Amino acid sequence: MRPAKRDLVSIDDLSSAEIMELFRHANEFREDLRAWSHLCRGSIMATLFFEPSTRTRLSFESAMLRLGGGVITAADPQTTSAAKGESLADTVRVVGGAYADILVVRHPQDGAARVAAHYAKVPVINGGDGAHEHPTQTLCDLYTLWREKGVLQGLDVVLCGDLRYSRTVHSFAYALARFGANIITVPYPGFEMPQFVLDRLDREFGVRASAASVGELPGIAGGENSAAYLTASRPHQLALFTSLSPVHLERIDAIYMTRAQRERHRGESTANYPRISRASMASEMMRDARVMHPLPRVDEIDYDVDDDPRSIYFQQAELGVPMRMALMAFQLGSIRLETGADAVGAPARQTAAVRGLRCRNDRCITNGEGKLYLGAEFWLVTEWPPRLACSYCGQEIDAAFVGSATTERVHRHDCSDARRIRSENRIFFESEEQARVAGFRPDEPAV
Ligand code: CP
């Protein structure tokens, strides 16, 4: 019997216990990659890649072949009917089922993986969707770091470079926060971590930013960079850090360097982009640090850093095979994860009713090809004041006005009439004008 469909759209889709169990299986698979060809015999994986890839696509294909399954691939959208205008939704409806038992999808639009998961009958894995998430890269990154350090909780991890458009950084930050690591953001100026990611780290994981004095890090980062230290307000860390604001860092455990995601830029300059050199590796702060990178590298890490034992970026890529074997074997029901009662999974999401409200992210698939067939869909992330997150790309919107589906009156969120509307009758708007267009009448002005 087939297991229940488990998609991996976001790193949130796996609980912490499941992730640790996947690490355990990846360790087993890694011992002898050639010993598992009985596990998924007869299964077919399809890779649908609408953006270039080396590691993600080939490691998934290698992983499925090592599990004994078969692979069909669309590595170039120009050779598929997408070039004739076919939508992602139609493509996955066709490919998932008779053609393949599991799909891996990479797509340039934020939120595309959720669309694929919605329309495919078989499990979908997000191989990177726009600037949104890249959860299997995070599994590889976390697994590599965990193997190196033996622990994740309490580690000080620097995320450096293009934090705005790097999908690997977004998934990695959520996972690091969930496992109790501290995050130091060192963005290339203008490419800071998106505010909605920072807000979510605070809201869901209690991870707050304070200014960081990063001593020798400017030597790595080159030029004027503002660092933020993000630490969870959890007991073990409070004991360490409450009196340190701003935080002065003596040592870091890892630096995760990212390339400038030029394919998503709009002509911004990236002159003086951060770079790790042998000189930066000699700093005291880096003594125990691991140098990480999701790859491909462009020019952010000098080649003569590669043979430093602290450089682990090629291990991240190598461990992608056993890690992805473990993931697919789990999704196809070939292995079971012994997780017991695991309370630390994805938070429950409550859908928010909207009329006329659209995601403000112009890269979101709901504003791209999804305009043809997707409605806007939002989750309620805070009730008062109401804040909504696009359920496809995660970007957040303040909904300042709340209407009643029964009276068709609309109120500012901070007035008592708004709070009296039963939760199942609430309709959220960004503006009074939006509510009027939807046929709602505003509050009568007070006399
Ligand atoms: N890390 C990563 O996603 O690499 P590719 O783009 O080569 O798949």
Instruction: Examine the pLDDT at 245 and tell me if it is beyond 70.
Output: no
Question: For 166-190, what is the mean pLDDT?
Answer: 93
The predicted pLDDT at position 283 comes to 86
Structural contact between residues 256 and 145, judged by C-beta atoms closer than 8 angstroms: no
Q: Summarize pLDDT for 126-162 with one digit per residue, the tens.
A: 999 999 999 999 999 999 999 999 999 999 999 999 9
Distances (CA, A) of 384 to 168, 400, 413, 428, 435: 31, 10, 7, 12, 18
Superfamily in which the 11-133+318-331 domain is placed by CATH: Aspartate/ornithine carbamoyltransferase (3.40.50.1370)
Instruction: Examine the pLDDT at 62 and tell me if it is beyond 80.
Output: yes
Write the CB contacts of 225 (distance below 8 Å, at least 6 apart in sequence).
186, 187, 188, 189, 217, 218, 274
Instruction: Examine the pLDDT at 446 and tell me if it is beyond 70.
Output: no
Q: Specify the pairing of strand 426-429 against strand 441-442.
A: unpaired
- Closest C-alpha to ligand 1, atom 4: 55
Lowest mean pLDDT among 268-282, 295-309, 359-373: 268-282
The predicted pLDDT at position 237 comes to 38
Query: What distance in angstroms lies between residue 327's CA and the mean position of ligand 1's atoms?
Result: 17
Query: What distance in angstroms lies between residue 102's CA and the mean position of ligand 1's atoms?
Result: 19
Instruction: Examine the pLDDT at 238 and tell me if it is beyond 60.
Output: no
Q: State both tokens at 422.
A: 């039963």
Q: Which atom of ligand 1 approaches the CA of 52 most closely?
A: 6
Query: What backbone torsions phi and psi does residue 405 show, to the nearest 5 degrees?
Result: -65, -20
Query: What distance in angstroms lies between residue 378's CA and the mean position of ligand 1's atoms?
Result: 29
Q: How many residues does the chain have?
A: 447
Structural contact between residues 144 and 174, judged by C-beta atoms closer than 8 angstroms: no
Q: Three-class SS of residue 128?
A: strand
* Angstrom distance (rounded) from CA 203 to CA 177: 11
The predicted pLDDT at position 240 comes to 33
Q: Which atom of ligand 1 approaches the CA of 51 most closely?
A: 6
Q: Which residue's structure tokens are 């169990």?
A: 21
What global pTM score does this model have?
0.93
Give the residue, out of 55, 62, 137, with the most ligand 1 atoms within 8 A of its beta carbon, to mutate for a pocket test: 55
Burial class (CB in 10 A: 0-12, 13-18, 19+), 351: exposed
Give the residue, out of 137, 293, 301, with the most ligand 1 atoms within 8 A of its beta carbon, to mutate for a pocket test: 137
Q: Which of 40, 35, 13, 107 is nearest to 368 (CA)?
A: 107
Q: Which of 199, 110, 207, 212 is nearest to 160 (CA)?
A: 212
The predicted pLDDT at position 215 comes to 56
Q: Which atom of ligand 1 approaches the CA of 106 most closely?
A: 8
* Angstrom distance (rounded) from CA 201 to CA 198: 5
Q: Three-class SS of residue 200?
A: helix
Residue 295 gets the label, from left (phi > 0), alpha (psi -120 to 50) or beta, of left
Query: What distance in angstroms lies between residue 51's CA and the mean position of ligand 1's atoms?
Result: 10
Q: State both tokens at 95.
A: 């490919």
The predicted pLDDT at position 214 comes to 58
* Angstrom distance (rounded) from CA 395 to CA 293: 25
Query: What distance in angstroms lies between residue 295's CA and the mean position of ligand 1's atoms?
Result: 6
- Closest C-alpha to ligand 1, atom 3: 56
The predicted pLDDT at position 228 comes to 73
Lowest mean pLDDT among 210-214, 296-300, 384-388: 210-214
Structural contact between residues 401 and 412, judged by C-beta atoms closer than 8 angstroms: yes
Question: For 385-412, what is the mean pLDDT?
Answer: 97
Q: Which atom of ligand 1 approaches the CA of 128 most closely?
A: 3
Helix axes 16-31, 320-331, angle to 10 degrees: 120
The predicted pLDDT at position 211 comes to 64
Query: What distance in angstroms lies between residue 320's CA and the mean position of ligand 1's atoms?
Result: 10
The predicted pLDDT at position 249 comes to 76
Q: Summarize pLDDT for 11-28 with one digit per residue, the tens.
A: 999 999 999 999 999 999
Query: What distance in angstroms lies between residue 53's CA and the mean position of ligand 1's atoms?
Result: 5
Q: Which atom of ligand 1 approaches the CA of 59 most closely?
A: 8
Structural contact between residues 136 and 327, judged by C-beta atoms closer than 8 angstroms: yes
Query: What distance in angstroms lies between residue 442's CA and the mean position of ligand 1's atoms?
Result: 50
C-alpha angle 46-47-49 in degrees, rounded to nearest 5 = 150
Instruction: Examine the pLDDT at 234 and tell me if it is beyond 60.
Output: no
Query: What distance in angstroms lies between residue 75's CA and the mean position of ligand 1's atoms?
Result: 13
Lowest mean pLDDT among 78-87, 136-145, 183-192, 298-307: 183-192
- Closest C-alpha to ligand 1, atom 5: 53
* Angstrom distance (rounded) from CA 310 to CA 83: 44
* Angstrom distance (rounded) from CA 86 to CA 100: 19
Classify residue 192 by its DSSP letter: P
Percent of the chain with pLDDT over 90: 79
Q: Which atom of ligand 1 approaches the CA of 134 most closely?
A: 3
The CATH class of the 136-311 domain is alpha beta
Q: Which atom of ligand 1 approaches the CA of 56 most closely?
A: 8
* Angstrom distance (rounded) from CA 273 to CA 187: 10
Sketch the domain layout of the chain as residue ranges. Answer: 11-133+318-331, 136-311, 350-442
Taking the alpha carbons of 383, 386, 390, 395 in that order, is the dihedral positive or negative?
negative
Instruction: Examine the pLDDT at 282 and tell me if it is beyond 50.
Output: yes
Topology, domain 350-442: SH3 type barrels. (2.30.30)
Instruction: Examine the pLDDT at 326 and tell me if it is beyond 70.
Output: yes
Distances (CA, A) of 145 to 254, 312, 316, 345: 8, 9, 9, 21
Q: Which atom of ligand 1 approaches the CA of 54 most closely?
A: 7
* Angstrom distance (rounded) from CA 49 to CA 384: 40
* Position 312 confidence tier, pLDDT thresholds 50, 70, 90: very high
Query: What distance in angstroms lies between residue 432's CA and the mean position of ligand 1's atoms?
Result: 44
- Closest C-alpha to ligand 1, atom 1: 294
- Closest C-alpha to ligand 1, atom 6: 53
| Percent helix, percent strand, percent coil in the chain, to nearest 5 | 35, 20, 45
Query: What distance in angstroms lies between residue 391's CA and the mean position of ligand 1's atoms?
Result: 24
Query: What distance in angstroms lies between residue 134's CA and the mean position of ligand 1's atoms?
Result: 9
Q: Which amino acid appears at position 65 of this protein?
A: L
The predicted pLDDT at position 2 comes to 76
Distances (CA, A) of 107 to 21, 100, 126, 149, 191: 28, 18, 9, 33, 21
Instruction: Examine the pLDDT at 218 and tell me if it is beyond 70.
Output: no
Q: Which atom of ligand 1 approaches the CA of 294 most closely?
A: 1
Q: Which of 109, 43, 40, 105 is nearest to 73 (CA)?
A: 105
What is the distance in angstroms between the CA of the first residue and the CA of the last residue of the chain? Answer: 67
Q: Is-same-fold flag (11-133+318-331; 350-442)? A: no
Ligand 1 proximal residues by C-beta, below 6 Å = 53-56, 128, 137, 294-296
* Angstrom distance (rounded) from CA 167 to CA 423: 34
Q: Is pLDDT larger for residue 121 or for residue 243? A: 121
The predicted pLDDT at position 344 comes to 46
